[in-house]
Structure 1
Amino acid sequence: MRTSISRAQNLRALIDREARRAGFDAVAVTTPNAIPLAPARLAEFVADGFQGSMGWIAETLERRGEPTALWPEVRSIIVLAMNYGPDHDPRAVLAKPGCGAISVYAQNRDYHDVMKGRLKEIAGKIVARSGSDVKVFVDTAPVMEKPLAEAAGLGWQGKHTNLVSRAHGSWLFLGTIFTTAELAPDTPEDDHCGSCRACLDVCPTDAFPAPYRLDARRCISYLTIENKGPIPHEFREKIGNRIYGCDDCLAACPWNKFAQVASEAKLVARAD
């Protein structure tokens, strides 16, 4: 028993060490059964039609809401976060109608490319050390990264439905490593939004029908990236000079006063 505990502790120490070496700002562990409320909430989101034209959400409903439905053998889920915090308030460009506003996350390299190779390196070290099987995901598979990150203790899902961290504010990319290794889970994070509704009130298109609920059909990020067909007339003036995504609800979060600027050069906004 002590030997198995020691092995798990050594494996966790390796994961923490390799995550930092790979440029991740936070890493934590949770279990596949740690998000029991997620399936019902996701089903309600789809039933209300809030997914808009993103048909794949409904098509992958069962696998998305239940990690073991995606991979029955998974025993632990490692959630890793990389900070992409800007060095200024990204909403400043909204006062410059001659400029097109591009969401902070898309102002340099594709984060999928930046993160996936590094996740695979860490996963390879896990396999070499423990012999366990692994699967790596970065936002391209039916994985609910934000509820898993909350369960792992990296932050909490704020009223804008995005993850909020006391250390990094709203500016975090998430990736996961599913593994058959048995790892001790970390403590979930509490919700620290309190009575604040800054993220809800700042939304120009009223995309939040209630706190913690998002209607993607009214969200500027959805309308400028995922929407199939023309943008409805009612939203065109409100979109302003945003041409790709929107950072308003993220930037409005008071927890960003504790956020640091991204240290990964490939995620820092290019001057052009």
Structure 2
Amino acid sequence: MRTSISDAAKLRALIDAEAHRAGFDAVAVTTPDAIPLAPARLAQFVADGFHGSMDWIAETLQRRGEPAALWPQVRSIIVLAMNYGPDHDPRGVLAKRERGAISVYAQNRDYHEVMKGRLKEIAGKLVARAGGDVKVFVDTAPVMEKPLAEAAGLGWQGKHTNLVSREHGSWLFLGTIFTTAELVPDRTEIDHCGSCRACLDACPTDAFPAPYRLDARRCISYLTIENKGPIPHEFREKIGNRIYGCDDCLAACPWNKFAKPAS
């Protein structure tokens, strides 16, 4: 669906206003062809066996790397971020052996439900104004949210492979709105990690074989959430009192000092 420059500007203003009204902390736009390098990186991740037992990643490789393969009608992708930063360092509970440590993201309402409802509201306003069609996704389809967020300029994928924002650090939920409207894309963010290794050195199980590469089979989040079998003996002591997920690499990121705690 082609839109004039003036109409595109008005649509963008609408999207920004509705996104912030709905409680999102950042919103940006990219195109479905903006992540040409992501498919090869994901294919290598699978070829190395780093996905562990998450077979659905291998089964959806093509659609993950090519948004248009998921929905051929898509012309623009709106990426939205919601800050969930804690008001304290979550690693403090690791010293309290009588307590179980639960990842920050899982301590409140299910973010899928919270975000999807709000994304639908924004998408509805977009369709009412511009017509066309939309689809919304919150970690519920083979969409590579982090590369798309980087392409849209919301941040960059750090050495821990998660998105890092100069304004919000590493604590961000991501959602996308695929639309048939042709919107002006934002400028891609550059990498600001520099020589920092804080996230890599913080990992208790050495799950990063190299910067920007994750071996999920060694990741505590994978081992305590996605893994359905027994936890290998070599990781049991290192897991400590973590019973659901791990935030160590996220919490170690120095960009978090600029983030405000989530409301």
TM range (shorter): over 0.9
- Structure 2 residue 72 is matched with structure 1 residue 72: yes
- The answer to whether structure 1 residue 47 and structure 2 residue 32 are counterparts is no
| Distance in 2 (alpha carbons) for counterparts of 1:8 and 1:259 | 31
Shift of 1:228: 2.1
CA apart distance, 1:4: 1.2
Aligned to 2:115: 115
TM (norm. structure 1) is 0.95
Which letter maps to 1:13?
A
Q: Percent identity?
A: 89
Can you give the 5+ residue segments of structure 1 that lack an aligned partner in the other structure? 264-272
Query: Could you tell me how far apart the structure 1 residues matched to 2:81 and 2:132 are?
Result: 22
Which one-letter code corresponds to 2:68 in the other structure? T
Letter of the structure 1 residue corresponding to residue 80 of structure 2: L
Aligned to 1:239: 239
Question: What does 1:128-143 correspond to in 2, within 5 Å?
Answer: 128-143=128-143
CA distance in 2, matches of 1:206, 1:221: 13
Q: CA RMSD in A?
A: 0.6
For residues 207-222 of structure 1, the aligned pairs below 5 Å read 207-222=207-222
Residue aligning to 2:196: 196
Q: Provide the residue aligned with 1:266 in structure 2.
A: none
Q: Please give the alpha-carbon distance, in whole angstroms, between the structure 2 residues aligned to 1:176 and 1:117.
A: 12
Match of 1:63? 63
Task: Provide the C-alpha distance between the structure 2 equivalents of 1:113 and 1:131, rounded to a whole number of angstroms.
Answer: 25
Aligned equivalents of 1:245 and 1:76: distance in 2? 33
Structure 1's consecutive aligned runs of 4 or more residues displaced over 2 angstroms after TM superposition are none
Aligned counterpart, 2:144: 144
Deviations 1:110-139 (A, max 9, x none): 000110000000000011000021000000
Instruction: List aligned pairs for 1:168-179, cutoff 5 A.
Output: 168-179=168-179
2:97 corresponds to 1:97: yes
